[in-house]
Structure 1
Amino acid sequence: MSAVGFNFQRKITNMKIMSLLSLMMVSLQILCNIAYANVKPNILFVLVDDQNNETLGYTGHPIIKTPNIDRLAEKGVLFKNAFVTTSICMASRASIFTGLTQRTLNYRPRDPLGTTRITDKNLLASFPILLREAGYRTGYYGKNHVHYQNGNQFAFDLMFDEWEHLTLGMKELPNGTTRHSDELIGDRSVEFLRSQPEEQPFFLFMSMTIAHAQDRNLSPGMGHYPWPKAVDGMYEDVEPLRPRLDDPAVFESLPDFLKGSLNRSRYFWRWDTPEKYSVNMRAYYRMLTGMDGIVGRVLEELEKQGLRENTIVIYTADNGYYMGNRGFAGKWSHFEESMRVPLIIQDPRQSISQRGKIEQSFALNLDLPSTFLDLAGLNVPETYQGQSLTPFLSGSRPDDWRTFFFWEHHQFQDIIPAWSGIREERYAYAGYDRMDPPFEFLHDLQRDPDQLKNFADDPEYAEILLRLRQRTAAAIKQYQN
């Protein structure tokens, strides 16, 4: 063979080798992509206590600093219209575990006849058990306010590989030092991540005790809201904002049964004088900023362990909070301050175009367990009453997405009146049907976004009132256990 022929043949051979290598590289990339697509994502769930949707920096609060949560919203999806279906810690948390409404669970905390408990049937369909059965390592640290048929230890041993219940307050450690309960939640969460097996996905539930009150004065100048030491002195030179609905006329316009409810009696515990208000509101601000720092520690640990890029972070609260609005404390009743909560989902796998999105569709605490399972690639039980929020992470809104939802609160003696109703995009209805006579609220949120006027007796709204009554009756029939 001539030199020219030899060189030509060598070029052909080299081209074949390069083509083969290129093909191998492409194939390898495809396999890697397939493998990555099949990797189960980790999920970090942060559930805060007693926080309405207005108390984050990202949602517009001019004083409270929450930089870590704000960054989650900047890189994820903020659900602007997120609600709980029952505004009380215990029932809301029970719904999050089971995907069922308070009415279906027949879950009435502190019932005079004995605390209602989640049945074994509903426990076995709870999302942590299904995740664990699918190979997830599950961890839970913090507040528990839910009760189970065969005891809490039995239930949590089934649901979680590692767990520890922590109640609100400063905890004395064996070495004589003290740490806030949520700092301990952060410590346990960091330890959980440091011991995470490389090939196993995890679900980590940070069940924060912040920002619930301790219903007694802690010490002079501290009020009812114990904060982590890291934020000592913060906001001391800030004059807290007065409640937006602070006019006494707002309270005076309410029916007598609400004026005499727990919403009002607890107002006198912490909000009724300028001194109490300033002390407690500054403490509440500190709690949320302290919580934000603790979440930031855990997010930083995810980075250190190389887990951040495959960990979805979900942040929300178990119910809203009045903080003096309408002359009220607590939650429990049907107004927006009680029912609306922050909700952020940040998935590092999202396209850049979807990051920082503000979603207007209704999202519920009832949707969370369906979302957890869907993110993990698991089937959602047909018994669950919520819907997965995952379509919104890719910028799509399902055609059949809800345009209204059922909400309720069961009676607790006479201090928390029972009610049930329907929330639509424009109208909100609540029927306090155990009053004598029954009392109805109908709010037109377009004409009156602060719910200062009750349109239930307005003839112009008769057809709307009838429609919402009928929808409420149908929902009660649907969800009744």
Structure 2
Amino acid sequence: MSRTLSSPVRLAAGFVAAAFVLVGPRAGAVSAGEADAAADEPYDVLFLISDDLTAGALSCYGNSVCQTPNIDALAAEGTRFTRAYCQATYCGPSRASLLSGYYPHATGVFGYVSPRPQIVDRQTWPEFFKERGYHSTRVSKIFHMGVPGGVELREGVTDPRAYDEADDARSWTERYNSPGPEWRAAGDGETLEGNPDGTRPVVGGNTFVVVEADAGDEAHSDGMTAAKAVELISRPRDEPLWLGVGFVRPHVPFVAPRPYFEPFLPYEKLALPERLEHDWDDIPKSGINYKTSVNMQMDLRKQRKALGGYYASVAFMDAQVGKVMRALEESGRRDRTIVIFTSDHGYHLGEHDFWAKVSLHEESARVPLIVSVPGKAPAVCDGFVELLDLFPTTLSLCGFEPPARLQGEDISPLLDDPAAAVRERAFCVAPNRRGFLLRDDRYAFIQYNEEASGGIELFDMHADPQQFHNLADRPAFAETVARYQGLLADKLAAVRDHDLAD
């Protein structure tokens, strides 16, 4: 049952929480070589990150139903990576990894926390730039924030630091939060998860709630975030800028202004992914995702509505990306700005009857990644890359020497030659399931627990790209499984033995 919601908190359109400025001590000296390399007019860095976004929801990645013209435009002028992978399949450890430069198993950061206690005085990605003369700024979710709880406007709360959650103060010259109404937004809403008879009221929290909201873009968190980013980009300044803009959609709740839902109505017209009868029969128990159509009690109508709500949230987020990119063009700095668009991990939209993140299957582990660098020709790159690679790559592009301690690779050669090879395979983990993924051109190998006590999955990605047939228990693939187990053991040893010293 749909019902009209009223928000207990009234928001002024365009409200963005007040900023506060943080100026910390220099955490590292700049070498003479670095200073010379960056002496010419330096590049700015604009880092755009969406939350819980599967690449398959973007039209530039082949979706014919959900149109994302603004992200598509960025992809048309940059390099679009088709095989980019996160290092952890849920928000906290993924963001801690890409921002610190370390795999989760190097730092032990597997939860929804800042990596600062583990990395101590080592510089994060934005902090590296801050200590070299950049104005580093965050708008909304870059390090982990709970959604909706961490970004939901709380009545009577006026201190913007109340919304910082797992943020790292040392990383920023200044930072801004964008609390909004989230699931309490006025409009037509329905709880899809755990609500079989449709009579319960809409509830909050990290659940599948769809709200066709009455108010416009800037009444919602991502609209506020875009407005603040536009303001910051347009602001006169003398120093180069590292700007992180974190959009919280399409993370649940699926809340967006009504117009963004219209292309997906009626929900009944939306096609759910192809499914295989008895699909779970050859998947270890550890490989069954934590959210499924079964345990969420979602019938086909609710599944289609969940898909429509997700697509509407993606379309809303895409419109905010467009506002930021138009401001960049109008600022006159587009030809001196590296622009990156990605997500912290992927998302299931009914494949295998799975929903949400955490799984190590392709939909959850693979992420969209677009990197646009002035002067570089547009391209599509099918090589393997990881989110961990963004830190050293932007350093290299901006004339800085990446510290040897960083565990990512400099993938800037792929921007000139997309056919070049930097990585043979990608590595990803699902910490709460103790799962590990090795993904190369031929196979996706998944092992649960280091001793494989939780089971193994092996998929031939040439013959079975939808990952319907687990080959791990078939005698003909015993040697293949043993080889990947050896590769995994070697990878974990290298990750943990890496010298974390500067």
Q: Which category describes the TM-score, using the shorter chain as reference length? A: 0.7 to 0.9
How far off is 1:237 after superposition? 4.1
1:205 aligns with 2:244: yes
Q: 1:229 to 1:184 in 2, by over 3 A?
A: farther
1:459 aligns with 2:469: no
Q: Which of residues 68, 83, 100 in structure 2 aligns to 1:98?
A: 100
User: What's the counterpart of residue 430 of structure 1?
Assistant: 446
User: What's the counterpart of residue 182 of structure 1?
Assistant: 222
How far off is 1:165 after superposition? 3.1
1:263 aligns with 2:279: no
How far off is 1:137 after superposition? 1.2
2:349 & 2:110 partners in 1: Cα distance?
24
Q: 1:227 to 1:125 in 2, by over 3 A?
A: same
User: What's the counterpart of residue 48 of structure 1?
Assistant: 50
Do the aligned partners of 1:251 and 1:327 also contact (CA within 8 Å) in 2? no
1:138 & 1:51 partners in 2: Cα distance?
25
Aligned positions, number: 414
User: What's the counterpart of residue 127 of structure 1?
Assistant: 125
How far off is 1:242 after superposition? 2.9
User: What's the counterpart of residue 349 of structure 1?
Assistant: 375
Q: 1:283 to 1:202 in 2, by over 3 A?
A: same
- Residue 38 of structure 1 aligns to a residue whose secondary structure is coil
1:191 & 1:146 partners in 2: Cα distance?
23
Do the aligned partners of 1:81 and 1:361 also contact (CA within 8 Å) in 2? yes
Do the aligned partners of 1:183 and 1:228 also contact (CA within 8 Å) in 2? no
2:401 & 2:105 partners in 1: Cα distance?
24
User: What's the counterpart of residue 430 of structure 2?
Assistant: 409
User: What's the counterpart of residue 383 of structure 2?
Assistant: 361
Q: 1:467 to 1:158 in 2, by over 3 A?
A: same
Do the aligned partners of 1:267 and 1:324 also contact (CA within 8 Å) in 2? no
Q: Which moved more, 1:238-247 or 1:82-91?
A: 238-247
Do the aligned partners of 1:248 and 1:327 also contact (CA within 8 Å) in 2? no
How far off is 1:188 after superposition? 0.8
User: What's the counterpart of residue 197 of structure 2?
Assistant: none
2:269 & 2:451 partners in 1: Cα distance?
36
Do the aligned partners of 1:432 and 1:440 also contact (CA within 8 Å) in 2? yes
User: What's the counterpart of residue 373 of structure 1?
Assistant: 395
Q: 1:119 to 1:237 in 2, by over 3 A?
A: same
Alignment of 1:6-155 (within 5 A): 38-109=40-111, 117-119=115-117, 121-122=119-120, 124-144=122-142, 146=144
1:235 & 1:318 partners in 2: Cα distance?
25
How far off is 1:240 after superposition? 5.0
1:395 aligns with 2:417: yes
Do the aligned partners of 1:107 and 1:118 also contact (CA within 8 Å) in 2? no
How far off is 1:436 after superposition? 8.8
User: What's the counterpart of residue 21 of structure 1?
Assistant: none
By percentage of residues, which structure has more helix? 1
1:228 & 1:159 partners in 2: Cα distance?
33
Q: Which amino acid in 2 is paired with 1:405? A: A
How far off is 1:90 after superposition? 0.8
Q: 1:144 to 1:155 in 2, by over 3 A?
A: closer
Do the aligned partners of 2:472 and 2:478 also contact (CA within 8 Å) in 1? yes
Q: Which of residues 161, 170, 173 in structure 2 aligns to 1:158?
A: 170
How far off is 1:164 after superposition? 1.8
Q: Which of residues 273, 279, 284 in structure 2 aligns to 1:250?
A: 279
Q: Which of residues 249, 252, 255 in structure 2 aligns to 1:226?
A: 255
1:159 & 1:77 partners in 2: Cα distance?
27
Q: 1:466 to 1:434 in 2, by over 3 A?
A: closer
1:41 & 1:129 partners in 2: Cα distance?
16
Q: 1:258 to 1:362 in 2, by over 3 A?
A: closer
2:72 & 2:415 partners in 1: Cα distance?
17
1:50 & 1:362 partners in 2: Cα distance?
20
User: What's the counterpart of residue 469 of structure 1?
Assistant: 485
Q: Which amino acid in 2 is paired with 1:479? A: V
- Residue 450 of structure 1 aligns to a residue whose secondary structure is coil
* Gapped regions of structure 2 (runs ≥ 5): 1-35, 146-161, 186-214, 498-502
Do the aligned partners of 2:114 and 2:166 also contact (CA within 8 Å) in 1? no
1:258 & 1:304 partners in 2: Cα distance?
48
User: What's the counterpart of residue 314 of structure 2?
Assistant: 288
Q: 1:139 to 1:473 in 2, by over 3 A?
A: same
How far off is 1:254 after superposition? 2.8
Q: Which amino acid in 1 is paired with 2:416? A: S
The alignment's TM-score, normalised by the length of structure 1, stands at 0.79
2:226 & 2:345 partners in 1: Cα distance?
22
How far off is 1:37 after superposition? 9.0
Do the aligned partners of 2:59 and 2:72 also contact (CA within 8 Å) in 1? yes
